[in-house]
Protein backbone atom coordinates (compact mmCIF):
# COMPACT_ATOMS: atom_id res chain seq x y z
CA UNK A 1 0.00 0.00 0.00
CA UNK A 2 1.44 3.39 -0.97
CA UNK A 3 1.62 6.45 1.29
CA UNK A 4 -1.59 8.01 -0.06
CA UNK A 5 -3.63 4.82 0.29
CA UNK A 6 -2.29 4.29 3.81
CA UNK A 7 -3.08 7.87 4.79
CA UNK A 8 -6.64 7.72 3.43
CA UNK A 9 -7.26 4.32 4.98
CA UNK A 10 -6.09 5.57 8.38
CA UNK A 11 -8.47 8.55 8.18
CA UNK A 12 -11.51 6.53 7.08
CA UNK A 13 -11.36 7.45 3.40
CA UNK A 14 -10.31 4.09 1.97
CA UNK A 15 -13.62 3.70 0.09
CA UNK A 16 -13.82 7.29 -1.11
CA UNK A 17 -14.45 8.10 -4.74
CA UNK A 18 -11.48 10.08 -6.03
CA UNK A 19 -11.65 12.81 -8.64
CA UNK A 20 -8.48 14.66 -9.53
CA UNK A 21 -8.91 18.42 -9.81
CA UNK A 22 -7.37 20.21 -12.80
CA UNK A 23 -3.72 20.99 -12.12
CA UNK A 24 -2.64 24.58 -12.65
CA UNK A 25 0.88 25.89 -13.23
CA UNK A 26 2.04 24.70 -9.80
CA UNK A 27 3.34 21.36 -8.53
CA UNK A 28 0.68 20.51 -5.93
CA UNK A 29 -2.07 18.03 -6.77
CA UNK A 30 -5.61 18.02 -5.36
CA UNK A 31 -8.11 15.16 -5.31
CA UNK A 32 -11.77 15.49 -4.33
CA UNK A 33 -12.92 12.69 -2.03
CA UNK A 34 -16.62 11.87 -1.89
CA UNK A 35 -19.05 9.00 -1.43
CA UNK A 36 -18.37 6.71 1.54
CA UNK A 37 -16.43 9.28 3.58
CA UNK A 38 -16.69 10.78 7.07
CA UNK A 39 -17.17 14.18 5.39
CA UNK A 40 -16.38 15.61 1.96
CA UNK A 41 -12.72 16.48 1.76
CA UNK A 42 -9.85 17.27 -0.55
CA UNK A 43 -6.52 15.47 -0.55
CA UNK A 44 -3.63 17.91 -0.97
CA UNK A 45 -0.57 16.08 -2.32
CA UNK A 46 2.81 17.83 -2.08
CA UNK A 47 4.94 14.82 -2.94
CA UNK A 48 6.32 16.70 -5.97
CA UNK A 49 7.76 19.45 -3.77
CA UNK A 50 11.24 18.55 -5.01
CA UNK A 51 10.32 20.33 -8.25
CA UNK A 52 10.62 23.61 -6.34
CA UNK A 53 13.54 22.50 -4.19
CA UNK A 54 11.58 21.57 -1.06
CA UNK A 55 10.97 18.51 1.03
CA UNK A 56 7.26 17.56 1.21
CA UNK A 57 7.04 18.58 4.87
CA UNK A 58 8.59 21.97 4.12
CA UNK A 59 5.99 22.49 1.42
CA UNK A 60 3.13 21.95 3.87
CA UNK A 61 4.28 24.35 6.57
CA UNK A 62 3.30 27.60 4.79
CA UNK A 63 -0.16 26.24 4.01
CA UNK A 64 -0.73 25.18 7.60
CA UNK A 65 0.55 28.51 8.95
CA UNK A 66 -1.68 30.64 6.75
CA UNK A 67 -4.73 28.39 7.16
CA UNK A 68 -4.46 28.82 10.93
CA UNK A 69 -4.11 32.59 10.51
CA UNK A 70 -7.17 32.91 8.28
CA UNK A 71 -9.22 30.73 10.59
CA UNK A 72 -8.14 32.81 13.56
CA UNK A 73 -9.45 35.92 11.81
CA UNK A 74 -12.83 34.29 11.33
CA UNK A 75 -12.38 33.99 7.57
CA UNK A 76 -13.30 30.94 5.54
CA UNK A 77 -10.21 28.87 4.80
CA UNK A 78 -10.39 25.07 4.50
CA UNK A 79 -10.20 23.42 7.91
CA UNK A 80 -7.34 20.94 8.33
CA UNK A 81 -8.81 17.47 8.89
CA UNK A 82 -5.64 15.37 8.99
CA UNK A 83 -1.98 15.60 8.03
CA UNK A 84 0.95 13.39 7.14
CA UNK A 85 3.77 15.89 7.07
CA UNK A 86 6.53 13.41 6.31
CA UNK A 87 4.86 12.39 3.06
CA UNK A 88 3.49 15.82 2.17
CA UNK A 89 -0.18 14.93 2.48
CA UNK A 90 -3.12 16.84 3.91
CA UNK A 91 -6.83 16.22 4.20
CA UNK A 92 -8.67 19.54 4.14
CA UNK A 93 -12.27 20.64 4.23
CA UNK A 94 -13.96 20.67 0.82
CA UNK A 95 -15.53 24.11 0.41
CA UNK A 96 -17.40 22.99 -2.68
CA UNK A 97 -17.42 23.51 -6.43
CA UNK A 98 -18.67 27.08 -6.63
CA UNK A 99 -15.53 29.09 -7.23
CA UNK A 100 -16.14 32.68 -8.21
CA UNK A 101 -14.50 31.82 -11.54
CA UNK A 102 -16.97 29.00 -12.23
CA UNK A 103 -19.92 31.21 -11.31
CA UNK A 104 -18.69 34.06 -13.50
CA UNK A 105 -18.16 31.66 -16.40
CA UNK A 106 -21.74 30.45 -15.92
CA UNK A 107 -23.07 34.01 -16.20
CA UNK A 108 -23.45 35.05 -12.56
CA UNK A 109 -23.72 38.74 -11.76
CA UNK A 110 -20.11 39.79 -11.14
CA UNK A 111 -20.88 42.79 -8.92
CA UNK A 112 -21.82 40.98 -5.66
CA UNK A 113 -19.02 38.46 -6.13
CA UNK A 114 -16.33 41.10 -6.56
CA UNK A 115 -17.70 43.35 -3.84
CA UNK A 116 -17.85 40.41 -1.43
CA UNK A 117 -14.31 39.40 -2.37
CA UNK A 118 -13.09 42.95 -1.78
CA UNK A 119 -14.75 43.09 1.64
CA UNK A 120 -13.19 39.76 2.64
CA UNK A 121 -9.84 41.02 1.41
CA UNK A 122 -10.20 44.16 3.50
CA UNK A 123 -10.84 42.02 6.59
CA UNK A 124 -7.75 39.99 5.80
CA UNK A 125 -5.58 43.07 5.27
CA UNK A 126 -6.82 44.86 8.38
CA UNK A 127 -5.07 42.34 10.64
CA UNK A 128 -1.31 42.03 11.17
CA UNK A 129 0.15 39.13 9.17
CA UNK A 130 1.37 36.01 10.94
CA UNK A 131 5.02 35.58 11.82
CA UNK A 132 7.25 33.65 9.46
CA UNK A 133 5.92 34.86 6.11
CA UNK A 134 8.54 35.42 3.41
CA UNK A 135 9.19 38.90 2.06
CA UNK A 136 7.46 40.22 -1.05
CA UNK A 137 8.90 43.72 -1.10
CA UNK A 138 10.77 45.66 -3.79
CA UNK A 139 13.95 43.52 -3.94
CA UNK A 140 12.03 40.26 -4.22
CA UNK A 141 9.51 41.69 -6.68
CA UNK A 142 12.32 43.05 -8.84
CA UNK A 143 14.11 39.71 -8.89
CA UNK A 144 10.94 37.78 -9.72
CA UNK A 145 10.01 40.12 -12.55
CA UNK A 146 13.48 39.68 -14.02
CA UNK A 147 13.18 35.90 -13.85
CA UNK A 148 10.34 35.97 -16.37
CA UNK A 149 10.75 39.23 -18.30
CA UNK A 150 14.52 39.20 -18.80
CA UNK A 151 15.12 35.45 -18.73
CA UNK A 152 12.21 34.37 -20.96
CA UNK A 153 10.29 37.16 -22.69
CA UNK A 154 13.40 39.12 -23.69
CA UNK A 155 15.30 36.36 -25.53
CA UNK A 156 12.07 35.05 -27.08
CA UNK A 157 11.41 38.53 -28.47
CA UNK A 158 14.89 39.77 -29.39
CA UNK A 159 16.62 36.45 -30.09
CA UNK A 160 19.48 37.20 -27.69
CA UNK A 161 19.85 37.33 -23.91
CA UNK A 162 19.42 40.62 -22.11
CA UNK A 163 22.77 42.36 -21.75
CA UNK A 164 24.28 43.21 -18.35
CA UNK A 165 23.49 46.86 -19.06
CA UNK A 166 19.84 46.09 -19.70
CA UNK A 167 19.67 43.98 -16.56
CA UNK A 168 21.19 46.73 -14.45
CA UNK A 169 18.86 49.37 -15.87
CA UNK A 170 15.83 47.14 -15.44
CA UNK A 171 16.68 46.49 -11.82
CA UNK A 172 17.25 50.20 -11.19
CA UNK A 173 13.92 51.07 -12.82
CA UNK A 174 11.96 48.48 -10.88
CA UNK A 175 13.56 49.48 -7.59
CA UNK A 176 12.91 53.17 -8.24
CA UNK A 177 9.24 52.36 -8.91
CA UNK A 178 8.74 49.97 -5.98
CA UNK A 179 11.04 51.34 -3.25
CA UNK A 180 8.64 54.16 -2.27
CA UNK A 181 6.24 51.47 -1.04
CA UNK A 182 8.73 49.48 1.04
CA UNK A 183 7.84 48.61 4.59
CA UNK A 184 4.06 48.28 4.30
CA UNK A 185 4.40 44.96 6.09
CA UNK A 186 0.93 43.74 5.20
CA UNK A 187 -0.46 40.33 4.34
CA UNK A 188 -0.23 39.55 0.62
CA UNK A 189 -2.07 36.46 -0.63
CA UNK A 190 -0.36 36.89 -4.04
CA UNK A 191 -3.04 35.04 -6.04
CA UNK A 192 -6.29 36.53 -4.79
CA UNK A 193 -8.51 36.10 -7.84
CA UNK A 194 -11.78 34.32 -8.71
CA UNK A 195 -10.35 30.84 -9.25
CA UNK A 196 -9.10 30.89 -5.64
CA UNK A 197 -12.32 32.19 -4.08
CA UNK A 198 -15.46 30.17 -3.31
CA UNK A 199 -19.04 31.31 -2.91
CA UNK A 200 -20.39 30.24 0.50
CA UNK A 201 -23.73 32.07 0.72
CA UNK A 202 -24.81 30.20 3.86
CA UNK A 203 -22.05 31.87 5.88
CA UNK A 204 -22.29 35.42 7.26
CA UNK A 205 -20.32 38.53 6.35
CA UNK A 206 -16.79 38.09 5.06
CA UNK A 207 -17.06 34.33 5.71
CA UNK A 208 -19.24 33.99 2.63
CA UNK A 209 -16.00 34.10 0.61
CA UNK A 210 -13.90 30.94 0.87
CA UNK A 211 -10.19 31.56 0.37
CA UNK A 212 -7.83 28.90 -0.99
CA UNK A 213 -4.37 28.55 -2.61
CA UNK A 214 -2.80 30.82 -0.02
CA UNK A 215 0.35 28.84 0.72
CA UNK A 216 2.55 31.36 -1.13
CA UNK A 217 1.38 34.29 1.01
CA UNK A 218 3.99 36.86 1.97
CA UNK A 219 4.58 40.21 3.67
CA UNK A 220 4.37 43.22 1.38
CA UNK A 221 2.03 45.92 0.18
CA UNK A 222 -1.63 44.86 0.28
CA UNK A 223 -2.34 46.79 -2.91
CA UNK A 224 -0.87 43.81 -4.73
CA UNK A 225 -3.88 41.67 -3.80
CA UNK A 226 -6.36 44.27 -4.99
CA UNK A 227 -4.53 44.24 -8.32
CA UNK A 228 -4.75 40.44 -8.46
CA UNK A 229 -8.50 40.60 -7.88
CA UNK A 230 -9.57 43.57 -10.00
CA UNK A 231 -6.92 43.56 -12.72
CA UNK A 232 -7.10 39.83 -13.29
CA UNK A 233 -4.56 38.37 -15.70
CA UNK A 234 -7.07 35.73 -16.82
CA UNK A 235 -10.39 37.53 -17.19
CA UNK A 236 -11.75 40.98 -17.94
CA UNK A 237 -13.34 42.97 -15.12
CA UNK A 238 -15.82 45.68 -16.10
CA UNK A 239 -14.79 49.20 -15.00
CA UNK A 240 -18.02 49.65 -13.01
CA UNK A 241 -17.42 46.39 -11.13
CA UNK A 242 -13.80 47.34 -10.47
CA UNK A 243 -14.88 50.73 -9.14
CA UNK A 244 -17.58 49.31 -6.87
CA UNK A 245 -15.24 46.70 -5.41
CA UNK A 246 -12.50 49.28 -4.87
CA UNK A 247 -14.95 51.55 -3.04
CA UNK A 248 -16.11 48.60 -0.91
CA UNK A 249 -12.51 47.85 0.03
CA UNK A 250 -11.76 51.43 1.09
CA UNK A 251 -15.07 51.70 2.94
CA UNK A 252 -14.07 48.65 4.98
CA UNK A 253 -10.63 50.15 5.68
CA UNK A 254 -11.25 53.83 6.52
CA UNK A 255 -7.73 54.15 7.97
CA UNK A 256 -6.10 53.70 4.54
CA UNK A 257 -4.63 56.73 2.73
CA UNK A 258 -6.43 56.36 -0.60
CA UNK A 259 -4.00 58.47 -2.66
CA UNK A 260 -0.94 56.58 -1.41
CA UNK A 261 -2.68 53.23 -1.82
CA UNK A 262 -3.69 54.15 -5.38
CA UNK A 263 -0.10 55.03 -6.25
CA UNK A 264 1.04 51.71 -4.80
CA UNK A 265 -1.67 49.93 -6.78
CA UNK A 266 -0.29 51.28 -10.06
CA UNK A 267 3.26 50.25 -9.18
CA UNK A 268 2.20 46.78 -8.02
CA UNK A 269 0.10 46.41 -11.18
CA UNK A 270 3.01 47.34 -13.44
CA UNK A 271 5.27 44.78 -11.80
CA UNK A 272 2.63 42.05 -11.78
CA UNK A 273 1.44 42.51 -15.36
CA UNK A 274 4.95 42.60 -16.81
CA UNK A 275 5.99 39.57 -14.77
CA UNK A 276 2.87 37.55 -15.60
CA UNK A 277 2.84 38.46 -19.31
CA UNK A 278 6.36 37.06 -19.39
CA UNK A 279 5.44 34.08 -17.20
CA UNK A 280 3.10 32.88 -19.94
CA UNK A 281 6.14 32.78 -22.23
CA UNK A 282 8.08 30.66 -19.75
CA UNK A 283 5.17 28.26 -19.31
CA UNK A 284 4.89 27.91 -23.07
CA UNK A 285 8.57 27.43 -23.85
CA UNK A 286 9.73 25.49 -20.81
CA UNK A 287 6.63 23.47 -19.93
CA UNK A 288 4.75 23.27 -23.22
CA UNK A 289 1.72 25.00 -21.68
CA UNK A 290 0.88 27.19 -24.66
CA UNK A 291 -2.71 27.84 -23.63
CA UNK A 292 -1.64 30.53 -21.19
CA UNK A 293 -0.41 32.71 -24.06
CA UNK A 294 -4.01 33.69 -24.80
CA UNK A 295 -3.86 35.87 -21.68
CA UNK A 296 -0.82 37.78 -22.93
CA UNK A 297 -2.72 40.58 -24.71
CA UNK A 298 -4.78 41.26 -21.58
CA UNK A 299 -1.66 41.50 -19.41
CA UNK A 300 0.07 43.86 -21.80
CA UNK A 301 -3.09 45.99 -22.00
CA UNK A 302 -3.33 46.18 -18.21
CA UNK A 303 0.35 47.10 -18.06
CA UNK A 304 -0.29 49.96 -20.48
CA UNK A 305 -3.05 51.26 -18.19
CA UNK A 306 -0.81 51.05 -15.11
CA UNK A 307 1.94 52.99 -16.85
CA UNK A 308 -0.31 56.07 -17.03
CA UNK A 309 0.18 56.68 -13.30
CA UNK A 310 3.15 58.85 -12.26
CA UNK A 311 4.30 56.25 -9.73
CA UNK A 312 5.30 53.95 -12.60
CA UNK A 313 7.47 56.54 -14.39
CA UNK A 314 10.81 54.74 -13.84
CA UNK A 315 9.57 51.56 -15.51
CA UNK A 316 7.91 53.59 -18.27
CA UNK A 317 11.24 55.25 -19.09
CA UNK A 318 13.00 51.87 -19.21
CA UNK A 319 10.39 50.37 -21.53
CA UNK A 320 10.33 53.43 -23.76
CA UNK A 321 14.09 53.07 -24.21
CA UNK A 322 14.29 49.35 -24.83
CA UNK A 323 10.84 47.97 -25.72
CA UNK A 324 8.97 49.93 -28.40
CA UNK A 325 5.19 49.83 -28.21
CA UNK A 326 4.80 47.36 -31.13
CA UNK A 327 6.87 44.79 -29.21
CA UNK A 328 4.81 44.94 -26.03
CA UNK A 329 2.99 41.70 -26.71
CA UNK A 330 3.59 37.97 -26.90
CA UNK A 331 6.82 37.26 -28.78
CA UNK A 332 6.20 36.98 -32.52
CA UNK A 333 7.74 33.50 -32.56
CA UNK A 334 4.95 32.27 -30.25
CA UNK A 335 1.97 33.98 -31.84
CA UNK A 336 0.78 30.86 -33.64
CA UNK A 337 0.34 29.16 -30.26
CA UNK A 338 -1.66 31.97 -28.64
CA UNK A 339 -5.05 31.36 -30.26
Sign of the alpha-carbon dihedral angle for 279, 285, 288, 293: positive
Which CATH number characterizes residue 53's domain?
A: 3.30.200.20
Which residue among 53, 74, 93 closes a domain? 93
pLDDT tens for 46-80 read 887 777 777 877 888 889 999 999 999 999 999 99
Distance CA 307, CA 285 (A): 27
How much of the chain exceeds pLDDT 90, in percent? 85
pLDDT given for residue 24 in this prediction: 64
- Name the residue range of residue 300's domain: 100-337
Same domain? For 87 and 35 the reply is: yes
pLDDT tens for 137-184 read 999 999 999 999 999 999 999 999 999 999 999 999 999 999 999 988
Same domain? For 71 and 130 the reply is: no
81 beta partners:
none
Which residue among 59, 93, 127 closes a domain? 93
Q: Are 296 and 329 in contact (CB under 8 A)?
A: yes
More confident residue, 234 or 22: 234
What's the chain's average pLDDT?
A: 94
More confident residue, 74 or 337: 74
pLDDT given for residue 338 in this prediction: 59
Same domain? For 201 and 310 the reply is: yes
Same domain? For 128 and 76 the reply is: no
**Closest by alpha carbon to 244, among 226, 228, 259, 257?**
226
Total count of domains within the chain: 2
pLDDT given for residue 27 in this prediction: 77
Same domain? For 117 and 42 the reply is: no
Which CATH number characterizes residue 309's domain?
A: 3.90.1200.10
Is the pLDDT at 205 greater than 80? The verdict is yes
Same domain? For 64 and 144 the reply is: no
Which residue among 93, 116, 138 closes a domain? 93
Query: How does residue 335 score in pLDDT terms, banded at 50, 70 and 90?
Result: confident
Mean pLDDT value of segment 3-16: 93
Coil/strand/helix, residue 32: strand
Amino acid sequence: MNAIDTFLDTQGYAQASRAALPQDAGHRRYTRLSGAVPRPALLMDCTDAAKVGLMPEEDLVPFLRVAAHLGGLGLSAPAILAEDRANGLLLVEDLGHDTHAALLDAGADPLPLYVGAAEALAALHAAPPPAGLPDYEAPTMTRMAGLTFLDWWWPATFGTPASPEVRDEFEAAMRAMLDPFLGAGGFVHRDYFPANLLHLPQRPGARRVGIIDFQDAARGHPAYDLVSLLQDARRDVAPAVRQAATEAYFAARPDVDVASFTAATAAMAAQRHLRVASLWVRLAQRDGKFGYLRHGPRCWGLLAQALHHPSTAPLTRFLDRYVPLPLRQNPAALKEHAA
